[in-house]
Amino acid sequence: MTPKVTKKSAATRAHILETALGLFQEHGFEKTTMRMIAEACDLSLGAAYYHFKTKEELVLQFYAETGAEARSHNTTITAASKDFKTRLKALLQFKFTQMEPFRELASVLARQATDWRNPLSPFSAETRPMRDEAIGLIEEVLEGSNVKVSAPLRPHLAKMLWLYQMGVILFWMNDPSPEQRRTEELLDLSLALLHRLLQASTLPFMRRVNQSAVRIVELVEGLAPTEGEEP
């Protein structure tokens, strides 16, 4: 899994990625050609493909790498406040800050999201580790926070919020307002709504709603393939 440091490959991979990200930022994803990337690295086209099976894999790699950063930032977040909304907002905003220079790349990945069998989809079996990690971060944010939520819902809350996060990211990617101000408004609004809804979930009146909600999350989770499926 982890390529030995002694292997030349690691350095070349890193170099290609770095170069590619620069070019993506400069010309955009579509207009940057694999030939450009290879040439900028003083490599042949084939060599570039030796290290990255597809152009999209470059993007995926970038995401994988931002993950580590986010994990470490998470401790800062949980230390700063116990408030659920504050924490979750900080978590999302950090992701946005991280990806800000590469907003377009986000939508490159999102494009794959709709076909869950696509290895690059955030819902695919192949990206499960990344997905689990992201859910893990949310779980960290939940633990020891002031969320009030119906007990049967609690075990599924992180997964639900991950789904919520996907939605917010989709909005963010498409937000043309300067500095994505609308995304911030959306964040505040939706977090408030979420908070109230979760509070409401503790009312006896809401038992049936909660049950359905849990089952729905399970269904969605069940669709995301875990092992190899269809030929």
Which CB sits closer to DNA, 32 or 165? Answer: 32
Q: Tokens 């964040």 correspond to what residue?
A: 187
Fill in the amino acid letter for 229. Answer: E
Answer for which of 216, 226, 228, 231 binds a copy of itself (CB under 8 A) is: 216
**CA distance linking residue 198 with residue 42, whole number of Å:** 55
115 contacts a copy of itself (rule: CB under 8 A): yes
110 contacts a copy of itself (rule: CB under 8 A): yes
Answer for which of 123, 137, 147, 160 binds a copy of itself (CB under 8 A) is: 123
Which CB sits closer to a copy of itself, 51 or 85? Answer: 85
151 contacts a copy of itself (rule: CB under 8 A): no
11 contacts a copy of itself (rule: CB under 8 A): no
CB of 31 to DNA, least distance (A): 7
63 contacts a copy of itself (rule: CB under 8 A): no
**CA distance linking residue 165 with residue 161, whole number of Å:** 6
Report the SS3 class of residue 51: helix
Which CB sits closer to DNA, 10 or 194? Answer: 10
In order, the DSSP letters of 185-228 are HHHHHHHHHHHHHHHHTTSGGGHHHHHHHHHHHHHHHHHS--S-
HSE (side-chain half, CA atoms, 13 Å) at 83:
9
CB of 64 to DNA, least distance (A): 18
96 contacts a copy of itself (rule: CB under 8 A): no
Residues 32-51 that bind a copy of itself (CB under 8 A): none
Closest CA to 161 of 70, 77, 223, 88: 88
186 contacts a copy of itself (rule: CB under 8 A): yes
